[in-house]
Chains A and B, each alone.
Chain A
Amino acid sequence: QKEVEQNSGPLSVPEGAIASLNCTYSDRGSQSFFWYRQYSGKSPELIMSIYSNGDKEDGRFTAQLNKASQYVSLLIRDSQPSDSATYLCAGRTGANNLFFGTGTRLTVIP
């Protein structure tokens, strides 16, 4: 079983809509989670990190963590074409490395 799973998409939303990206994880010991954005041909860049249950907001982005249900989500409000990218979810279980999902490809349609 993969440590972190994501729907590969593609997910298409119209400009201005809310994009919802979801991720589940298998290890209940996972302590912290990260969302990375990766544009085609580029390296991943950190969008959000979340450590506690609940919501964490940063501008148009909101990360949500539910440890009981073992899922993490990322909401992007007022989606823009520039948000079109692959979004990678990652979890850390007190070990040294991150376990990454395969990513969800998001397309925001103008």
Chain B
Amino acid sequence: GAGVSQSPSNKVTEKGKDVELRCDPISGHTALYWYRQSLGQGLEFLIYFQGNSAPDKSGLPSDRFSAERTGGSVSTLTIQRTQQEDSAVYLCASSPFRGETQYFGPGTRLLVL
């Protein structure tokens, strides 16, 4: 079956611009996670959605970062007024329920010039 998909696969933007990153989880998965991975680093948790519950935003690094999940499926991560330190790979993962195995998408490579 189809896995987690993300778009765009690559994004180059200028400092100060806003960007939107999209994630389509595996059909039927209720949990969706966003992570950030900087070059040579581990995964940094950003935000978690579970069904209709309020999202866990505890990992968002600043108020420039926000995310939505519409209809319990597709999610969009928005970064406003991008900075060079935002350059990283943004990974989305989904799981059937909280705490279960997470399946990762291919990621979006963001480069802020």
* A interface residues with partner B (beta carbon < 8 Å): 6, 32, 34, 42-46, 49, 88, 90, 92, 94-103
Contact = CB atoms under 8 A, between A and B. Distances in A.
A104 to B, nearest CB: 10
A43 B99 contact: no
B67 interface: no
Contacts of B71: none
Contacts of B102: 46, 98
Contact of A32 (B91, B99, B107): B99
A43 B91 contact: yes
Interface of B: 31, 33, 35, 41-45, 48, 50, 56, 59, 91, 98-99, 101-107
Contacts of B103: 46
Nearest to B33: A97
B101 A99 contact: no
Q: Is the interface of B mostly helix, strand, loop or mixed?
A: strand
A60 B102 CA distance: 22
A34 B101 contact: yes
A87 to B, nearest CB: 11
Contacts of A96: 31, 33, 48, 50, 56, 98-99
Contacts of A97: 33, 45, 48, 56, 59
Given A32-B99, A44-B43, A46-B101, 13 more contacts: A6-B42, A44-B91, A44-B104, A46-B103, A92-B99, A96-B48, A96-B50, A96-B98, A97-B59, A98-B45, A100-B42, A101-B42, A102-B42
